[in-house]
Copies of this chain bind each other. A is one copy, B any other.
Amino acid sequence: MSVNVAIIGAGVVGSAFLNQLKNLSSPIALNVVYLARNSKEALISKDYLPLDLQTYQTAPAQAVLPLAELAAFLHASPKPAVLIDNTSNAAIADFYPEFVKQGISIATPNKKAFSDKLAVWNEIFANSAAPGGGLVYHEATVGAGLPIIGPLRDLVATGDKASTTKFSDVVKVAKELGYLEPDPRDDLNGMDFARKVTILARIAGFEVESPSAFLVDSLVPLPWRHKRKDDALAENKVLRYVGQIDFAANKVSVGIAKYDFDHPFASLKGSDNVVSIKTQRYPNPLIIQGAGAGAEVTAHGVLADALKIAERVAK
């Protein structure tokens, strides 16, 4: 039992992924047949025999395949094909609908395809659901290796609903103020976080048009932030950066909120994220907390998805 895997990216997350993959002991083989080790160079196994991952950094390389050619190469694979996109590249994300249409499954931490225009999201999953469509797993797009998307999809699939009381938020995501995503500009204006909230909102059934379609509080310059933090402390509260998907109010938002010290959101540390899901079945919320960023945890989120795909499609 095996699948043929194409990997794009060998940066911080990508090299952690390759390292975990090298040490993988799995009943289903993930054979790497294409590896773009940077934006220009790729190792390509034209005969679909597994590449040697030990030497990927130094082995003679070729020019990366244009995306349409990569899709054709994977579509012609004698084994089911899986694309691992370990980049945050928008052009690759834009090509996901086509990969999936051609029966190529995708595992990725790349948020772009899932958090930009709603039409792209709809096209990806429509193509995936169509006969012969590839599978799409993207757990690492929200909380790195934290189990968030899978469990939320399970709740939706088994018929759980937003509660209709005033505590009607289906999903809240919080992160500690001060932790920055790789691209600080992205985080300072809240866009990276808004992307995560967009993805969860869509899974929960909200047709969010784009991460610009709802109110996003920017993280303001540091001196102002310190002042606001001190004011909160004086009230025995802490500040957290929170995304809310509120069905009763029919509203998605991202902003800074105050929490008491004994609130689950107050105990966040460093790069931890916490997600609180309140539904009819979980009036007392389901809470998932832990590191929501970092190379190793992101890589294992992607690898676990790749294994789930392999379990479903391997031959």
Would you give the shortest CB distance from A29 to chain B, in whole angstroms?
14
Which chain A residues numbered 206 to 234 have a C-beta less than 8 Å away from chain B? Answer: none
* A23 CB contacts on chain B under 8 angstroms: 159
Please provide the 6 A-B residue pairs with the shortest distance between their CB atoms, ordered closest to farther.
A286-B290, A154-B304, A147-B151, A158-B300, A287-B289, A147-B147
Q: From A90-98, A181-189, A265-273, give the one contacting chain B.
A: A265-273
Mask: chain A, 279-302; 1 = CB below 8 Å from B; 0 = not: 001101111111100101101100
Which chain A residues numbered 168 to 221 have a C-beta less than 8 Å away from chain B? Answer: none
Would you give the shortest CB distance from A298 to chain B, in whole angstroms?
10
Asked if A155 and B300 sit within 8 Å, CB to CB, the answer is yes
Would you give the shortest CB distance from A287 to chain B, in whole angstroms?
4
A291 and B280 alpha carbons, distance in the complex (Å): 12
A272 and B267 alpha carbons, distance in the complex (Å): 18
Tell me the nearest residue of chain B to A311, going by C-beta.
Answer: B312
* A154 CB contacts on chain B under 8 angstroms: 145, 147, 300, 304, 307
Q: A267: which of B264, B304, B311 is its contact (CB, 8 Å)?
A: B264
Query: How often does this chain occur in the complex, in copies?
Result: 2
Known: A147-B147, A284-B272, A286-B290. A157 touches B264 (CB 8 A): no
**Does A72 sit at the interface, judged by CB under 8 A?**
no
Asked if A20 and B159 sit within 8 Å, CB to CB, the answer is yes
Number of interface residues of A (CB under 8 A): 45
16 contacts between A and B (CB under 8 A): A20-B159, A154-B300, A157-B304, A158-B299, A159-B300, A264-B264, A264-B267, A264-B289, A270-B284, A281-B291, A281-B300, A284-B290, A287-B290, A288-B289, A311-B312, A312-B312
Asked if B267 and A158 sit within 8 Å, CB to CB, the answer is no
Q: A288: which of B26, B147, B160, B272 is its contact (CB, 8 Å)?
A: B147
Would you give the shortest CB distance from A7 to chain B, in whole angstroms?
15
**Does A69 sit at the interface, judged by CB under 8 A?**
no
* A20 CB contacts on chain B under 8 angstroms: 158-159
**Does A261 sit at the interface, judged by CB under 8 A?**
yes
A193 and B311 alpha carbons, distance in the complex (Å): 31
* A294 CB contacts on chain B under 8 angstroms: 281
Which chain A residues numbered 244 to 270 have a C-beta less than 8 Å away from chain B? Answer: 261-262, 264, 267, 269-270
Tell me the nearest residue of chain B to A16, going by C-beta.
Answer: B281
Given A158-B300, A158-B304, 7 further pairs, Cβ under 8 A? A24-B158, A25-B159, A145-B281, A147-B151, A262-B262, A281-B291, A286-B288
